[in-house]
A and B are shown apart, each in its own frame.
Chain A
Amino acid sequence: MAIGGITAAGARSGARRRLAMLLAPGLFWLIAFFAIPLVVVLAYSVAVPGPTGRVEWRFTLENYQRLFGETLYVSAYVRSLWVGLLTTLICLVAGYPLALFIVRQPPAWRAALLFLILIPFWTNFLVRTYAWMIILSNNGIVNTAIQSLGLPRQILYPGEGAVLVGLVYGQLPFMVLPLVAALDRFDFTLMEAAADLGASRRRAFWRIMLPLTAPGIAAGSVLVFIPTVGQFVVSDLLGGAKVDFLGNLLQRLFTRSNPPNWPLGSAMAVIFMVVLTVAIVAYFRATAEERR
């Protein structure tokens, strides 16, 4: 018994050491490149920007006051969140039927279709965004098509519409893939059961399929929403530097403005993080409720 106890304890401490060794690289990474920089950003956000771009280490809340006071910043926040929401919604509405279609195909077709969804990733995102500039330009194929119908040429680019198109295009796969995973786990017999019990297809969808695929919707929405709100490349290229998103302001504050204003940028990043965290926690709470 005692011997057994000793070896069990030995095995336990060995297991603990192995666990520590396995966790160490990941923990180190998170602490060094996530936790510490986060503290640095927080520190910067309450410091004073000096006249030459150097930071003066005095505590102040002025950065935050500016962000909540100046229209430039407030409207960038609102625009980013609004476009992020819109992009997520469009991706969801377009992606759900697509994911459903893919899941209902025979296995060989499914693999091929999923592969097609992933193919765009083989080309650099910048190149693909430039391609949209050409497609939406005044003499691009969209305008050519519009004019061939006898309608006047439209200014599609640059503008907020072009940004939305580019964002939806870029983010759609991130919505479709989690939805495919969720629908794959969904037992379609349940739809037959619902129909059998008197539910029309529409009611069966709202009462059965949607709640049971909510985890996929939640995952896809978060995957689309967060990068969209923070991005700056698409709005820069397709917005023609006229439509300011959070990401564009951040980029400007840190690198382009003269002098650079790191404290203000940091404060902006902190607010951004808090808002997103609150939104996502609330969202997961809501969808988790649905699943119970």
Chain B
Amino acid sequence: MKPAIELRSAVKRFGGVTAVDNVSLTIGDGEFFSLLGPSGCGKTTTLRMIAGFEFPDAGDILLHGTSIGTTPPHQRRVNTVFQSYALFPHMTVAGNIGFGLEMQRIAPTERERRVREALELVRLADYGERWPRQLSGGQQQRVALARALINRPEVLLLDEPLGALDQKLRKEMQLELKRMQERVGITFIFVTHDQEEALSMSDRIAVMHHGRVLQIGTPTAIYERPNCRFVADFIGDTNFLDGRITASHAGHAVITTDDGLVITGASDRSLTIGSTATVSLRPEKARLTIDVPPGDIANCFATTVDRVDYIGSDTRMLVRIGSERTVSVWEQNNRSTLDRDAYWQPGEAGYLWWPAENGLVLAE
């Protein structure tokens, strides 16, 4: 089976700005694939090139092995769910959903039947005769989805489709979208700047920045093994402990910071001694205890607690090592108690520690 979508060194420039810079991607059939990045990173332009609203200045795009780089959008078997939904305000919900079939000159009886099916698929069976303006944001979103899916596209493109919804509805729609994708088995390419959304829904994620793809991987790989500082920083929260490499063995590297901390972290490649590097330590991957931890722990530092933020599920603390350095560490509140002593207080002393594999060494 040919991949659903393949981008080969695709480039798109607007004036002097390179929006998409030499992007190559292979997206498998039936995959839920996310393009994730901050605004202006080129993710939407990439999607628009796949849809056909923009043509690449260089490189090519293949849909199931066929080049579509210069095919106009109406001749691509690809459909889009727009951020603003872009429902036709002068057509009913049924009219909107049936538009694609109408363009394909499908007979009205067949069209009606399929529109009814599509309405049922998005649980809006009784809404066919309504006007788009009479629907809530979530309902409009489902109409936009039905309008795209009814054409049985080879690939469905979704441009921040949940961006306009409130938090609760957004969560619901995330689940619904994911279920829908599993049901119809169509390849979804999903553009978002919301990392949590991308992590929870995707089979694979491409993290983009300044028009380039920095990393492609499963949600776990992207979160647990970011390949550069930007990805580590953009996905989730992390502490960066900057320094120079002082030792490098198989699977591990040691870096020494300017304030003299010696930190051992995981590294999948050998790094040049003396080169600058950073250790990315996620706040939930370090522990804070009153006593020195038992056993041989690679990284253990005496600290004082600087700040405590209780947020319900977690307690988020800023702890100080030495005079200058602060590190963020989160502790899960897995006991239910009102006892003040069960929680850390500012000014308390303790030990911050984590095993070597919990910190990731990233070369600069």
Cβ-defined contact, B53 with A199, below 8 A: no
Q: Which of A196, A200, A204, A211 has the most CB of B within 10 A?
A: A196
- The B107-138 residues at the A interface (CB cut-off 8 A) are none
Cβ-defined contact, B90 with A193, below 8 A: no
A203: chain B residues at CB < 8 Å are 103
Among the stretches A67-75, A78-86, A159-167, A184-192, the one at the interface with B is A184-192
Q: Is A195 an interface residue (CB 8 A)?
A: yes
Whether A195 touches B52, Cβ cut-off 8 Å, given contacts A189-B82, A203-B103, is yes
Whether A196 touches B74, Cβ cut-off 8 Å, given contacts A187-B84, A189-B82, A189-B84, is yes
A211: chain B residues at CB < 8 Å are 90
B82: chain A residues at CB < 8 Å are 189, 192-193
Whether A196 touches B73, Cβ cut-off 8 Å, given contacts A212-B89, A291-B90, A292-B90, is yes
Q: Is B147 an interface residue (CB 8 A)?
A: yes
Cβ-defined contact, B79 with A196, below 8 A: yes
A204: chain B residues at CB < 8 Å are 74
Cβ-defined contact, A194 with B90, below 8 A: no
- B88 in complex: contacting residue of A208, A290, A292, CB < 8 Å: A208
- Measured in the bound complex, the distance between the Cα atoms of B71 and A200 in whole Å is 12
Indicate with 1 or 0, residue by residue over B63-83, a CB within 8 angstroms of chain A CB atoms.
000000000111000111010
B52: chain A residues at CB < 8 Å are 195-196
- Measured in the bound complex, the distance between the Cα atoms of B99 and A292 in whole Å is 16
- A197 in complex: contacting residue of B53, B72, B90, B100, CB < 8 Å: B100
Q: How far is the CB of A57 from chain B (nearest CB, A)?
A: 54
Q: Is A198 an interface residue (CB 8 A)?
A: yes
Q: How many residues of B contact A (CB 8 A)?
A: 23
Cβ-defined contact, A190 with B88, below 8 A: yes
- A198 in complex: contacting residue of B89, B90, B151, CB < 8 Å: B151
A199: chain B residues at CB < 8 Å are 74, 99, 103
Indicate with 1 or 0, residue by residue over A197-221, a CB within 8 angstroms of chain B CB atoms.
1111001100110011000000000
Q: Which of A187, A193, A199 has the most CB of B within 10 A?
A: A193
Indicate with 1 or 0, residue by residue over A21-60, a CB within 8 angstroms of chain B CB atoms.
0000000000000000000000000000000000000000
Q: How many residues of A contact B (CB 8 A)?
A: 21
A292: chain B residues at CB < 8 Å are 90
- Measured in the bound complex, the distance between the Cα atoms of B74 and A203 in whole Å is 11
Nearest residue (CB) in A for B80 is A196
Cβ-defined contact, B103 with A192, below 8 A: no
Q: Is B86 an interface residue (CB 8 A)?
A: yes
Cβ-defined contact, B73 with A195, below 8 A: yes
- Measured in the bound complex, the distance between the Cα atoms of B96 and A208 in whole Å is 11
Indicate with 1 or 0, residue by residue over B128-171, a CB within 8 angstroms of chain A CB atoms.
00000000000000000001100100000000000000000000
B74: chain A residues at CB < 8 Å are 195-200, 204
A208: chain B residues at CB < 8 Å are 88
Whether A197 touches B84, Cβ cut-off 8 Å, given contacts A211-B90, A292-B90, is no
- B79 in complex: contacting residue of A187, A189, A197, A207, CB < 8 Å: A197
Q: Is B199 an interface residue (CB 8 A)?
A: no
Q: Is B317 an interface residue (CB 8 A)?
A: no
Nearest residue (CB) in A for B79 is A196
Cβ-defined contact, A197 with B89, below 8 A: no
Cβ-defined contact, B104 with A189, below 8 A: no
Partner-B contacts on A (CB < 8 A): 187, 189-190, 192-200, 203-204, 207-208, 211-212, 290-292
* CB-based closest 3 A-B pairs: A198-B103, A193-B86, A197-B100
List 29 contacting pairs A-B, 8 Å CB cutoff, sorted by A. Answer: A187-B84, A189-B82, A189-B86, A190-B86, A192-B73, A192-B82, A193-B80, A193-B82, A193-B88, A194-B88, A195-B53, A196-B74, A196-B78, A196-B148, A197-B74, A197-B79, A197-B100, A197-B147, A197-B148, A198-B103, A198-B104, A198-B151, A199-B103, A204-B74, A207-B99, A208-B88, A211-B90, A212-B89, A290-B90
Partner-A contacts on B (CB < 8 A): 51-53, 72-74, 78-80, 82, 84, 86-90, 99-100, 103-104, 147-148, 151
